Structure 1
């Protein structure tokens, strides 16, 4: 078979002269060839990805730099306050007091000859639609600190924002205590350094983000400083430790990316991440959207992204945060704040609204930025150059082989078809594996053992890339065109595919097309160098330039995909059971493999017996499948480091009152909203007793909002996968709660007005669903949501949160009915009272204690009552 592969005609050109094995290396060098690229990844990409600067100590305080040690001390104090849920004493009193103490001290230490520092503690109330919910809030606290040049009259401010509240049951050291102390230290350094700033800076410490970004909405729509804020730096987290990534910029203000390039100390950014984030693939959001939507303020959105396993869990503690990570973020924040506070563009940001930016860093060493228009030109030029050089190469092959160009083109078309098949298989085989694993209930096997991704998805992708072209070379019998030329045709085919992808994706308006252009550009460079020398026609000598040229594309492509895998792997544990996140990881691994190895894998045919490499990849895949399915390595969860998120509403008591006031239904139980694909299956064989648990999908067809106290939009989105575990013993809720009908008034012949008074805990939901012949024509809430209701069968959902102000909520609802008959049922109204932070009774505590050590339980008591009016 090897003789057939290397057989050449004696009439072939010089490079096709018959030699033993056509100058191919021994088969065992192929393994070393692939290992080289693997070692390159682990020796360069991984160390640079996790590289952090040396943390500054108090001994460096006189250098006027960010001091990680001081920030770390503040973080220790803030995180030790504990869970800071909006409405709790920890959030509304203790956290506020801590921040006020720090900013007051900074005010005292401020260089008063250079700066004016003003502190404003305010409460905000309001509402806005978000996803399927209308967010309504009152008494949310904001601490705004304005640092301005002495006697400044400037009306252009820079806004810097983060939040100090937390999700239930987490000390929130990273999300976002980390950013709060970073802001404090940045404020301290600027205020105490004799370095002028041109524009005032507003540091906003907001106390209600986790509900759905309410406090930032309140600031940007109500605060007296908000109209003067012209750009924002938003700091948040979806992980803990490591570097902070820029994942949103602008929009349509490329000068911000230019400022990032100019001032950033430790670049880490990708506009591809921005596009992925804005597609909704990442199950998170940030205050950045509020400033963009309601304040029309452009800016930079940055956050922690590594170790997302601890995000929103009890394990988000200061222990998992290295001081070097604080130094990295602090260096970046301080430099960017100073830079933007002196940016001339801030005077008139609208004049610089000139389109989107393409941006990305290379291994954290250098930051690339250019406008979208420049990116389009670059993409088209590189694609065009690739096609032109390929045509020149084909002409050279025809001349050297003494055949017509048409003859070479015919073979090129055949090779092109083979390469397209390889490309498709390289993308498809990992997806097939992901589907197969999921169908056998083996999702997330890589969750705690990321190295399994190599065997499960990378190796199948390499098999797909290499198998068709290897079979082709073992069967082809062309004696007029040499094997080395055939191999070049395969690489040309890969270039054509990338050129077509780059131009198509660019034409569709995606800035992420640069991921195809980078490997294509360096292939064009190597092809140009080969064409300018005799290497193009000298056997496999052209491979030297090719291999060298692909080092940078390999490093970047593998680095980029590694970023996404690190960020998105933990998200598989909190994306809901309806989402098969294995597909995302499989696609990422496949895309990364195709981009990193697309020009390299065909080169295994420069070695003897390339089929050995394919068998080795098959063996690795088989071994990985075995380990994932039959050993503990494939079990997704580990205590403390990568636990299973178990979210349920404990001691749910549902009471249904009919139109005449009689209680028609009274049930108690536990409502489970499973956060990942495996749902309850990991508890089989453990002490957790889930006997009797049923899905609530059938309830969703009979009752408003499934007849359950769906907590927020995530519960609503995942309602069809939620499950109910009934319990026989009813339990009273911790505090007194009440919905009181204050009045029912006939407004006119077709309209009736109901007024209500609602009291209860800091987190409540109101559900309203009119009957068929009734329209909710007016209410006391935001009208935008009323006029654009969620799609059927969802009802109106008003999610109400209060902070420091716990006064009752008074609201009205007006119903319109054409026949004016208001003595019949008009609408259903459900209220759920969520007692976050309260413990359950003995029975519920027993259930909680039965969960395995790898379970991260999030639960609280709820009362739900449905009325008909």
Structure 2
């Protein structure tokens, strides 16, 4: 776009308010113009916030079963949630919840007009999980539970292709699993009820998998897709998950390939909510967590859709994930979407012959939650190229005609960018210094106040400062040059992302839409402002919408990541801020200014920046006085601190001594660290590694050592020794060669055992009978994760082969360090008196003290470390 078309009469040019020249207010933007721009931006913020939280009305059951009913599904969630925590293998999981689901299926079967087959499965197996949110590790399981239901027409006996729907009814050891994932199972039961009475729509079969071992590393899905006889019929799947509690469910993964599957959702979903950005961010590993989608994709080689509740992530994997906290309308929204998508897929010929559909990658996103935009990656690349090349060609012409002005614009643009970036980083450091980490955790608006507003002030203020240095008659030319520089920068970003194959580049392409303004002849300032508003609304709206959505998802996740969150939250909060501020720089340049050229010295500039930083400091000081803790607790909406508490019986045999005691380990999940936890006092010590291994004798449940720094862990010895069944490690056989050693081990422990295999100096793990062969010999340890459901099944045999690729180290008596931790996740051995007393104190004190707003994953562990 461009601003004011210059005429021959120089009196129409913008001038600054200075005694040396006369000012014509009709040629400059004033307060009224900026108020209109501000009102437009505020309306977009309010509108996108509303749309991001909007949910449909929960529907009651209809007499003819022709619509999805949240009220009926919600009853199922409440009743299953009331069984309490239900980790795989527990009585709550294997008896109560599984029995409830089977009973509900039986009721549905009685009234069904279609054929319903029920298959109970208890598979065993092993598989590898590559590095993602955790380090890579090997999972082995025995006798995990699956309930599979096949819905088909009762007027045919032929084998037909099927669509798979998946949920899991197990939960994190301390969570009732209301949203993760009982809400999804209730949705599937309601869909089974509806579809079982509509035999005419069943052109393909539907398989409903209620799997009982997802939280223990995706084992139920693996057992089904690699061993169940129905697996060969499946041509596509829909996985229903949760990394939050309620709200709008998000389609955040689709594929691999098979665009017809994604199109079915985009064409049929009643309330679509999806984005290629979510898919690319999740697959990058930034978003912690993993779902059954990976197993179906990698081991079943079938395409699918991954939908998850992602809002209210404060309660995920905590005691607060209960049915009562799922926002009304959430289940209705997800149910409507999945039901419509399933009906569409059942009529699709692609389900019978997915390979017959030409495939390509697509760009997709919903615009403000109002409608979905979808186009092929080829079209996306073409659009990117058209907009980017047009911008660069126009920039080239402008630079040739006004090279001096463009050079000055590049300098000023760079100054504004550096100023905003430095202020962003300075604000994060001031936050850590004055308030501490995460002041925005329970009040998201705090991030806007301490990060976005100062950046807006710095960006617009520095541009106004630089514009005051320009002669009034040259400001319009400079504004044109600033806009050219901005478009060039955006075009370069678009080109770079397109070449890298990043489909999320569409958000930057939207910023080039104002190129259309070049063909419009502007008459006055109001036309300039209105044209700016109209042409920038798509990029403004999308940027604000994404920022609001990402902030609502990411901020709760910062409660479970140990890295410094301030820079990430500042960048995330300022994503839309940068887009808006840089687009406004040309308008700032032609705004009526009160600053004179005499007030544009370097000291004046530093004074302005210092004033911003002092204001940020003052705001943080006031916040520290009024809002002392980032956490908060109310029964309706708790926003707790996450910690892990392990009461551990330790037997550590190292080279110099044997340690046998009982200790309480406390692991902080967020950046504030363990010493910020109110019950961690001077009796707790830092962890000191006794042996040569990365796991440092910490009783890790998953291999997340890379996320846990020393500052996150404290422990103390306690007087209560746990009366646990002995964990046993038996070296059955050891075969030694000159540069090769083969160990045969048998490990016996609880129903959940973590094994840490650490080769010592000079030695490498060449093979493990439970894992895929290693392609390269390196110093990486091996993490084994054993799960067993049932009685007397927790005995695992494995063989480890070490090789010594270099010269002998001289220490030939201890080539392997083996650690074994038996985790007691349920039953009478789960929590000691020490843990129960601590949990009771947390429950009591969090009512009045936000610092005690704590969600603790707490259980007993029996751990052995020994050299072999």
Bucket of the pairwise TM-score, normalised by the shorter protein: 0.7 to 0.9
Are residues 1:563 and 2:549 paired?
yes
Are residues 1:327 and 2:313 paired?
no
Are residues 1:499 and 2:491 paired?
yes
Are residues 1:588 and 2:575 paired?
no
Distance 1:429 1:438 in 2: 14
Distance 2:617 2:730 in 1: 66
Paired position in structure 1 for 2:817: 828
Query: In 2 relative to 1, CA 337–632 (structure 1 residues): closer, same or farther, beyond 3 Å?
Result: same
2:630 counterpart (635, 649, 659): 635
Are residues 1:414 and 2:419 paired?
no
Are residues 1:143 and 2:155 paired?
no
Query: In 2 relative to 1, CA 716–98 (structure 1 residues): closer, same or farther, beyond 3 Å?
Result: farther
Greater mean deviation of Cα atoms: 770-779 or 607-616: 607-616
Q: Report the alpha carbon displacement of residue 776 of structure 1 after superposing the two structures with TM.
A: 5.4
Greater mean deviation of Cα atoms: 454-463 or 719-728: 719-728
Query: In 2 relative to 1, CA 154–617 (structure 1 residues): closer, same or farther, beyond 3 Å?
Result: farther
Kindly indicate whether the alpha-carbon contact (under 8 Å) linking 2:254 and 2:304 is maintained by their aligned counterparts in 1.
yes
Are residues 1:669 and 2:672 paired?
no
1:92 counterpart (91, 94, 102): 94
Kindly indicate whether the alpha-carbon contact (under 8 Å) linking 2:128 and 2:772 is maintained by their aligned counterparts in 1.
no
Paired position in structure 1 for 2:18: none
Paired position in structure 1 for 2:674: 680
Distance 1:128 1:37 in 2: 54
2:644 counterpart (648, 673, 697): 648
Paired position in structure 1 for 2:518: 527
Paired position in structure 2 for 1:397: none
Paired position in structure 2 for 1:32: 35
Distance 1:443 1:673 in 2: 17
Q: 1:435-584 counterparts in 2 under 5 A?
A: 435-438=429-432, 442-477=436-471, 479=473, 481=474, 483-521=475-513, 523-528=514-519, 530=520, 533-535=521-523, 541-576=527-562, 579-584=563-568
Kindly indicate whether the alpha-carbon contact (under 8 Å) linking 2:151 and 2:206 is maintained by their aligned counterparts in 1.
yes
TM-score for both structures, normalised by structure 2: 0.88
**Cα deviations by residue, 1:662-688 (Å, 9 ceiling, x for unpaired):** 9811132122221001113434xx5x2
Kindly indicate whether the alpha-carbon contact (under 8 Å) linking 1:129 and 1:135 is maintained by their aligned counterparts in 2.
yes
Distance 1:475 1:814 in 2: 72
Distance 2:582 2:741 in 1: 68
Q: Match of 1:600, SS? A: helix
Kindly indicate whether the alpha-carbon contact (under 8 Å) linking 2:643 and 2:857 is maintained by their aligned counterparts in 1.
yes
Paired position in structure 1 for 2:620: 625
Distance 2:137 2:412 in 1: 50
Q: Report the alpha carbon displacement of residue 746 of structure 1 after superposing the two structures with TM.
A: 5.2
Q: Match of 2:158, SS? A: coil
Distance 2:709 2:763 in 1: 26
Q: Match of 1:225, SS? A: helix
Distance 1:815 1:385 in 2: 60
Q: Report the alpha carbon displacement of residue 607 of structure 1 after superposing the two structures with TM.
A: 4.1
Kindly indicate whether the alpha-carbon contact (under 8 Å) linking 1:649 and 1:862 is maintained by their aligned counterparts in 2.
no
**Cα deviations by residue, 1:818-845 (Å, 9 ceiling, x for unpaired):** 89x9995453322111112345444444
Kindly indicate whether the alpha-carbon contact (under 8 Å) linking 1:446 and 1:634 is maintained by their aligned counterparts in 2.
no
**Cα deviations by residue, 1:260-304 (Å, 9 ceiling, x for unpaired):** 221111011111111111111111111111111112211111111
Query: In 2 relative to 1, CA 506–701 (structure 1 residues): closer, same or farther, beyond 3 Å?
Result: farther
**Cα deviations by residue, 1:284-338 (Å, 9 ceiling, x for unpaired):** 1111111111122111111111111111111111121133111100000101111
Aligned residues: 827
Paired position in structure 2 for 1:366: 371
Greater mean deviation of Cα atoms: 490-499 or 436-445: 436-445
Q: Report the alpha carbon displacement of residue 74 of structure 1 after superposing the two structures with TM.
A: 0.7
**Cα deviations by residue, 1:160-194 (Å, 9 ceiling, x for unpaired):** 11111111211110011111101111121111125
**Cα deviations by residue, 1:366-400 (Å, 9 ceiling, x for unpaired):** 001111111110111122233455677x5xxxxxx
Paired position in structure 1 for 2:235: 230
Distance 1:352 1:806 in 2: 50
Kindly indicate whether the alpha-carbon contact (under 8 Å) linking 2:675 and 2:681 is maintained by their aligned counterparts in 1.
no
Query: In 2 relative to 1, CA 252–867 (structure 1 residues): closer, same or farther, beyond 3 Å?
Result: same
Q: 1:191-202 counterparts in 2 under 5 A?
A: 191-202=196-207
**Cα deviations by residue, 1:759-816 (Å, 9 ceiling, x for unpaired):** 33221112223445766565542334x6668x63x53221111224651324142556
**Cα deviations by residue, 1:455-476 (Å, 9 ceiling, x for unpaired):** 1111132134323321221011
Greater mean deviation of Cα atoms: 499-508 or 439-448: 439-448
Distance 1:298 1:428 in 2: 45
Q: Report the alpha carbon displacement of residue 639 of structure 1 after superposing the two structures with TM.
A: 4.7
Are residues 1:744 and 2:728 paired?
no
Distance 2:595 2:439 in 1: 29
Paired position in structure 2 for 1:46: 49
Distance 2:288 2:690 in 1: 24
Distance 1:141 1:726 in 2: 38
Distance 1:494 1:591 in 2: 16
**Cα deviations by residue, 1:531-573 (Å, 9 ceiling, x for unpaired):** xx354xx567433211222223222210011111100000000
For the aligned residue pairs, the C-alpha RMSD in angstroms reads 3.3
Paired position in structure 2 for 1:102: 104
Q: Match of 2:478, SS? A: helix
Q: Report the alpha carbon displacement of residue 645 of structure 1 after superposing the two structures with TM.
A: 3.3
TM-score for both structures, normalised by structure 1: 0.88
Query: In 2 relative to 1, CA 608–781 (structure 1 residues): closer, same or farther, beyond 3 Å?
Result: same
Distance 2:775 2:858 in 1: 34
Query: In 2 relative to 1, CA 511–849 (structure 1 residues): closer, same or farther, beyond 3 Å?
Result: same
Q: Match of 2:10, SS? A: coil
Query: In 2 relative to 1, CA 518–841 (structure 1 residues): closer, same or farther, beyond 3 Å?
Result: same
Query: In 2 relative to 1, CA 748–467 (structure 1 residues): closer, same or farther, beyond 3 Å?
Result: closer
Distance 2:612 2:340 in 1: 47
Greater mean deviation of Cα atoms: 323-332 or 224-233: 224-233
Paired position in structure 2 for 1:398: none
Distance 1:422 1:118 in 2: 66
Q: 1:769-780 counterparts in 2 under 5 A?
A: 769-772=758-761, 779-780=768-769
Q: Report the alpha carbon displacement of residue 856 of structure 1 after superposing the two structures with TM.
A: 1.2
Greater mean deviation of Cα atoms: 469-478 or 609-618: 609-618
Kindly indicate whether the alpha-carbon contact (under 8 Å) linking 1:751 and 1:814 is maintained by their aligned counterparts in 2.
no
Greater mean deviation of Cα atoms: 795-804 or 825-834: 825-834
Paired position in structure 1 for 2:717: 727
Q: Match of 1:860, SS? A: strand
Greater mean deviation of Cα atoms: 596-605 or 157-166: 596-605
Are residues 1:763 and 2:752 paired?
yes
Distance 1:41 1:610 in 2: 30
Distance 2:541 2:700 in 1: 46
**Cα deviations by residue, 1:648-703 (Å, 9 ceiling, x for unpaired):** 343212112469xx9811132122221001113434xx5x252132332x407645
Kindly indicate whether the alpha-carbon contact (under 8 Å) linking 2:257 and 2:361 is maintained by their aligned counterparts in 1.
yes
Kindly indicate whether the alpha-carbon contact (under 8 Å) linking 2:395 and 2:485 is maintained by their aligned counterparts in 1.
no
